[in-house]
Structure 1
Amino acid sequence: MSLTELQEKRGRLMTQAREALDEIKKNTDEARAAELDKRHDDIMAEFDKIERTIEREQKMADVEARFAARQEEERARKRPKGEDTDTRGQEEGAAIEYRQVFYKFLAGGADPSFLEPEERKILRAGAAPKEAEKRIQSVGTTTAGGFTVPTELANTIIKSMKAWGPMYDEDICTTLNTATGNPIKVPTVDDTAVTAEKHTEGTALTDDGGKDVTFGQKSLDSYGYDTEFVKFSLELARDSIFNMESLLGQLLGERLGRIANQELTVGDGTGDPNGIVTASSLGKTAAAAGAITYDEIIDLIHSVDPAYRQSPKVRFMFNDLTLSAIRKLKDGEGRYIWTMGNVQQGVPNVLLGYNYSINQAMANIATGNKTLLFGDFGKYFVRKVGSPLIGVLRERFWPDLGIAGLIYFDGELGDTAAVKHLIQA
């Protein structure tokens, strides 16, 4: 099924789901209402499946395009330099690409002796002479196979981490990238309630300290998390037709993404980041333990100062089961408060005109749980220390290989009034 066909099916499912809910009237008997409610949920489950398929198809098209471009680069590199020479491969004087050496390193069982002296030098340096890029060294020793990370692999890991949770995404939160892990201090201030005063001609300005700016300070540290080892066979590394950078990036990125999103969401700040749910302040307490109403969502929105509601990073955040409940809510005029967007045109789904993010680290609707967040997520700071670190071991898993990833980060909400939560009764 093409992307266009998938989009059309997605729209039809949305129409069918709304028709099912619209059939439920005040005088509809319980059995029929339950049947229509189940039909709506089944349709929306298929709707979500179609959305995931569309996303996968688009990602696959991107990967195929990159792979085709890489193949063309390889073919161009292997063409003869001219009619008077038999030289194929790299052009004379051209540097050996780091990526090629990294592949060769894996294909040789992560054995440095498999490489030429010049290749080992490039692998240790992490960059070809013509491309003096700064690369982060892994914690492994060279004898154990710990070398630097190809830039494309690091980027793939980070991209996969974003896909597994919104809290590592710089488009949602404010990110600070540092080369070292030394603690950094972030000044905080909430001046939204303070105004200027009317001035009377000839009257001295008040200087009693009543309107001094009150600054605070929070620390962003460096907490490390690892993937444990991802094992794969020597034969796979040597003979695989897959793009190894994409494969390894997805494996390591998914593991790092889960833990990063979890800690940046619900971490308690004791030996780990202060998660945004933990750091947020109370905006609204729901009347019921197992439900959320339209009016309560409105109250949550207006519990946040209008100055924060105008931020380009203002949004809702909740998990997928909470979204399922919200999709059925209507306003006083019988209109659904959830609005479907358009993936093809880049228009996101919205809730009461605001964007939202699905975060599976957030709690389900149940007694005492903080189920909805709303506010300016730009006031949540995610500190990223360097790039992902990669270690490769062969002796421990011989003849197979083991690759592990390691990242360092921290998170803190600069102003607790900027993001508020709804908690169930």
Structure 2
Amino acid sequence: MTLKELNEKRGTLVAQAREALDAIKKNTDDARAAELDARHDAIMADFDKIEATIAREERMTAAEARLNARADEERRNRRPNGSDTEQRGQDEGEALEYRHVFHKFIASGGDHASLSGEERAILRAGIASKDVEKRIQTAGTTTAGGYTVPVELENVIIESMKAWGPMYDEDICTVMSTASGNQINLPTVDDTGVPAVKHTEGTALTDDGGSDATFGQKRLDAYMYDTEFVRFSYELAQDSIFNMENLLGGLLGKRLGRIANNELTVGDGTGDPNGIVTASSLGKTAAAVAAVTYDEIIDLVHSVDPAYRQSPKVRFMFNDLTLGALRKLKDGDGRYIWTMGDVQTGVPGNIIGYRYSINQAMANLATGNKTMIFGDFGAYFVRKVGSPVIGVLRERFWPDLGIAGLIRFDGELGDTAAVKHLIQA
């Protein structure tokens, strides 16, 4: 199904969902209302699938456009001496690639005589260029070398990480990007419990230190996570219709995204980030083991101080199964507390007027689980050290190749009063 067809189907589903919702509100027959309720849920499930498919298609289209543009630039850079003159093998749109020339050079035992003049020029240009794969000697073994994948993969990785979890998204949390992993200290102060007092004329001001500000400190480190090596054969790299480095790099980017989102959500703060759910304070305890009521959601919202509720980054967060339960909740007048967004204008859905984020790292509705959080997510600090790194090693696994990913980050809630959680009984 094309992107245009997907968008048309999405619009049709929205219209059908609205029709079903209106019918539910008008209908007084319980059996018919239940039937319409089930139909509405089925339509919205289809709507969510279409939304996810459209989002993936749009991200893939954007990524492919960047990769194609980068490939064009690399082909120009790989021509000897930066010449615009077409070289052998380019008559039908084909261009000699640095990595193919390099493989031929290694397979011949490092014999330059095995290369044509054009291939030798491409090899020299590739070594000198900043835009192609770079050679990196490891500290432990001087004979082992590594090669990074093309630069454009980095943006694809970051997009994959955002898609797999909201906690790595700078639009949701407060992100601090640093070049090094040195410890960062965040000064904190909570002055909300210290009042001002009425002054009596002619009376000296109290000076006993009882109203002094009390400061604290939160700490951000740089924890490292890796994907382990994934090996693939020389034959697969040559014969596959896909660029295996880019394909595997994208998959490893998603792995990094999942671990980053998981740790920033439920990390225990001991040798790991202090996840936002872990760091949040209690706002409401639900009465039921595996259900939430409208009144309990209201209590959770009002457990957070109004000052935080006015933040541009205030929102709910829960997993998709919890959202499914919330979609069925109604207020005292029989109106659903979930409000459908407008896909045409980009307005997101909301719960009682507040935005929400789906986070699959959060727990399901079950005994003792923290199933929902609410508050000012701008108070949660995500520290990113550089960018995620995907490395391809060639000589170490020769003739096979190996690819792995690394990421460094940390997270901490600056003010535990800013985000509250609801826990099941």
Same fold (TM over 0.5): yes
Q: In the alignment, is the contact (CA less than 8 A) between 1:156 and 1:245 conserved in 2?
A: no
Q: In the alignment, is the contact (CA less than 8 A) between 1:105 and 1:111 conserved in 2?
A: no
> Which residue of the partner structure matches residue 345 of structure 1?
345
CA displacement, residues 258-287 of structure 1 (integer Å, 9 cap, x when unaligned): 111111111111111111111100001111
For 1:74-113, list aligned pairs within 5 A: 87-88=85-86
Task: Quote the offset at 1:144 in angstroms.
Answer: 3.8
> Which residue of the partner structure matches residue 255 of structure 2?
255
> Which residue of the partner structure matches residue 182 of structure 2?
182
CA displacement, residues 108-152 of structure 1 (integer Å, 9 cap, x when unaligned): 899996983553354xxxx369xxxxx999989674442346442
SS of residue matched to 1:217: strand
* Range with bigger deviation, 312-321 or 340-349: 340-349
| Cα distance in 1 for residues equivalent to 2:177 and 2:136 | 13
| Cα distance in 2 for residues equivalent to 1:61 and 1:175 | 27
| Cα distance in 1 for residues equivalent to 2:252 and 2:232 | 13
Q: In the alignment, is the contact (CA less than 8 A) between 1:138 and 1:389 conserved in 2?
A: no
SS of residue matched to 1:185: strand
**Percent of residue pairs identical:** 70
> Which residue of the partner structure matches residue 132 of structure 1?
none
Query: Cα distance 1:68–1:154, how it changes in 2: closer, same or farther (>3 A)?
Result: closer
Task: Quote the offset at 1:372 in angstroms.
Answer: 0.5
> Which residue of the partner structure matches residue 28 of structure 1?
30
Question: What residue ranges of structure 2 are gaps of 5+ in the alignment?
Answer: 88-96, 112-121
1:253 maps to amino acid? G
Aligned positions, number:
402
| Cα distance in 2 for residues equivalent to 1:41 and 1:164 | 24
Query: Cα distance 1:139–1:313, how it changes in 2: closer, same or farther (>3 A)?
Result: farther
1:340 maps to amino acid? M
For 1:64-143, list aligned pairs within 5 A: 64-67=64-67, 69-70=69-70, 73=73, 87-88=85-86, 116-117=123-124, 119-120=126-127, 122=129, 127=130, 143=143
SS of residue matched to 1:269: coil
Question: What residue ranges of structure 1 are gaps of 5+ in the alignment?
Answer: 90-99, 130-134
| Cα distance in 1 for residues equivalent to 2:72 and 2:237 | 22
| Cα distance in 1 for residues equivalent to 2:163 and 2:107 | 29
* Range with bigger deviation, 257-266 or 100-109: 100-109
Q: In the alignment, is the contact (CA less than 8 A) between 2:74 and 2:131 conserved in 1?
A: no
Q: In the alignment, is the contact (CA less than 8 A) between 1:188 and 1:215 conserved in 2?
A: yes
| Cα distance in 2 for residues equivalent to 1:347 and 1:113 | 59
When normalised by structure 1's length, the TM-score is 0.81
2:148 matches 1:171: no
> Which residue of the partner structure matches residue 209 of structure 2?
209
Task: Quote the offset at 1:187 in angstroms.
Answer: 1.3
For 1:1-400, list aligned pairs within 5 A: 1=2, 2=4, 3-15=6-18, 18=21, 22=25, 28=30, 37-67=37-67, 69-70=69-70, 73=73, 87-88=85-86, 116-117=123-124, 119-120=126-127, 122=129, 127=130, 143-148=143-148, 150-238=150-238, 242=242, 247-394=247-394, 397-400=397-400
| Cα distance in 1 for residues equivalent to 2:27 and 2:204 | 68
Q: In the alignment, is the contact (CA less than 8 A) between 2:136 and 2:145 conserved in 1?
A: no
| Cα distance in 2 for residues equivalent to 1:128 and 1:212 | 56
Task: Quote the offset at 1:391 in angstroms.
Answer: 2.8
> Which residue of the partner structure matches residue 94 of structure 2?
none
| Cα distance in 2 for residues equivalent to 1:138 and 1:386 | 20
| Cα distance in 1 for residues equivalent to 2:21 and 2:100 | 51
Q: In the alignment, is the contact (CA less than 8 A) between 1:106 and 1:238 conserved in 2?
A: no
Query: Cα distance 1:140–1:300, how it changes in 2: closer, same or farther (>3 A)?
Result: farther
SS of residue matched to 2:30: coil
Task: Quote the offset at 1:238 in angstroms.
Answer: 3.7
| Cα distance in 2 for residues equivalent to 1:175 and 1:137 | 32
2:165 maps to amino acid? G
Query: Cα distance 1:70–1:242, how it changes in 2: closer, same or farther (>3 A)?
Result: farther
1:156 maps to amino acid? V
CA displacement, residues 333-388 of structure 1 (integer Å, 9 cap, x when unaligned): 22221112133422111111111110001000111110000001111111111222
Q: In the alignment, is the contact (CA less than 8 A) between 1:24 and 1:36 conserved in 2?
A: no
1:341 maps to amino acid? G
Q: In the alignment, is the contact (CA less than 8 A) between 2:78 and 2:125 conserved in 1?
A: no
| Cα distance in 1 for residues equivalent to 2:18 and 2:152 | 41
Query: Cα distance 1:200–1:71, how it changes in 2: closer, same or farther (>3 A)?
Result: same
